[in-house]
Amino acid sequence: MAESAFTIKQTAKLTGISEDTIRYYEKIMLLPRAERKDNGHRVYRKDDIYTLKLISCLKKTGISLEAMRPFLAVSADSHPAENPDLVDQLRDQREAIVNQISSLRQLVDFIDKKLEEGRGGGGCSEPSPGDAKPISVVEMSYFPASAG
Amino acid sequence: MAESAFTIKQTAKLTGISEDTIRYYEKIMLLPRAERKDNGHRVYRKDDIYTLKLISCLKKTGISLEAMRPFLAVSADSHPAENPDLVDQLRDQREAIVNQISSLRQLVDFIDKKLEEGRGGGGCSEPSPGDAKPISVVEMSYFPASAG
DNA sequence: ATTTGACTTGGAGTCGGCTCCAAGATGTAT
DNA sequence: ATACATCTTGGAGCCGACTCCAAGTCAAAT
C-alpha cells in the first residue's frame, strides 16, 4: 500500500534540508506542490527525497536556485533530449561549471604556492574556450588579461 | 614620481568591478582604505588593481566576501607562513574548494549523461576525506549516503 | 559667475535565500 | 476534556552583496 511515505520532518532529516526551506522551495515552485494527506499535511516519497538530495548536491556547487531549474526539469523528465530549450540550458550550465572548475583549480594552486613558499602570485584568467585541459597555473602572470 | 595612479572610474573599468562595489568593499573593510588625493578622491595603484582582480577571481569560485579575507591577507602579507591562523584558514579553504571541485565534476558527468542518453541519475556524495582522486562518478548510486 | 563633470559621503532600497513567528487545524495520550 | 505534538498558512524579518540616490565638494571650462 503506502509505498514509503515520509512526513516533512522525516524528509528534512533525510535530506539535511530544513522543513522551512522545503516549504520555501515549494512556495517558489522549485519543487512541485507536494501531495497532501486528508489533514493537509505534506507527504513525500522516494522520488521527492531524491530530488531534494539533488538540490542539496547542486547547492554544494554554488549555483543559484534559478539555475537549478533546468536540472530538476531534466531530472523529472525522462526524455530530456526532446526538449531543445532544456538541452541548451544544460549545455550553458555545463560550460559555466567547467569554467568554474578551472577557476577553482587555479585557486587551489594559488593556495598551495602560498602555503609552500611565502611569495608569488596566482591569478585567474578567462578559461580558453577550448575545454578542461590540465592548466599549468604555475606559469600564470600576475595580470592575466585586462577586461576590455 | 606618480607611479601609475588610477581614479576609481578607471579602476572599475580595469577590474570589471563597479565603482559602487569598490567603495562598498572599502566600507566593509575587505579592502584597506584607499589613499586619497587632496580633494579626497581615491587613488589606486597597480597593487590595488591586482587585489581587485584577485577578488574578482575569487568571486568566480563562488566563495563569500568573508571567506576571501584570508586570501587577501595572505596576498598582502609576504610572509604568510609566519601567521599560523592564516595558514589554518587557507588549509580549510583549500579543503572546501577541493570538495567543491569534486561536486562540480560530478555535476558535469550528470549533465553529460543526461545529454548523451535520456536516463540515469547522478548524485553527489560526501567526498571521502582523503584527497582529490579521480572519482568514477559513473558508478555512483542514486542515493549516495543518508545524512545521519 | 555659473555650469559641467568627477568625485565624496551616508543612507536607503533590492534581491536571493532563507528563517522565524503567530494563528489555526488535526491526532494521540491521559 | 485538556494537553501536547505535528503539521498547515501567510507574512515578517534577516543577512549578504550589492545598487541607487541625494546632497555636497572641488576643479576646470565657458
In chain A, the number of structural domains is 2
- Are A11 and A72 part of one and the same domain? yes
Residue A126 has pLDDT above 90, yes or no: no
Name residues 62-101 of chain A within 8 A of B (Cβ).
62, 71, 74-75, 78-81, 87, 90-91, 93-94, 97-101
From B63, B88, B103, the end of a domain falls on B63
Q: Note down pLDDT in tens along chain B; length 148 residues.
A: 447 899 999 999 999 999 999 999 999 999 999 999 999 999 999 999 999 999 999 998 889 999 999 999 988 876 767 788 888 889 989 999 999 999 999 999 999 988 887 544 556 776 655 443 333 333 333 333 333 2
In a domain, B102, yes or no: yes
- The gap from C-alpha B75 to its chain's centroid, in whole angstroms, comes to 13
- Cell numbers 581615491: residue: B42
pLDDT digits (tens, 9 = 90+) for A14-46: 999 999 999 999 999 999 999 999 999 999 999
DSSP A39: T
Task: Answer yes or no: is B64 CB < 7 A from strand D.
Answer: yes
Please check whether residue B79 is in contact with residue B95, taking contact to mean a CB–CB distance below 8 angstroms: no
Q: Which residue is nearest to nucleotide C26 (CA to C1')?
A: A39
Range of the domain at A25: 1-76
From A40, A59, A76, the end of a domain falls on A76
Are the Cβ atoms of B60 and A103 closer than 8 angstroms? Answer: yes
- Are A91 and A131 part of one and the same domain? yes
Distance CA A140, CA A117 (A): 16
In a domain, B68, yes or no: no
From the CA of A67 to the C1' of C12: give the distance in Å.
29
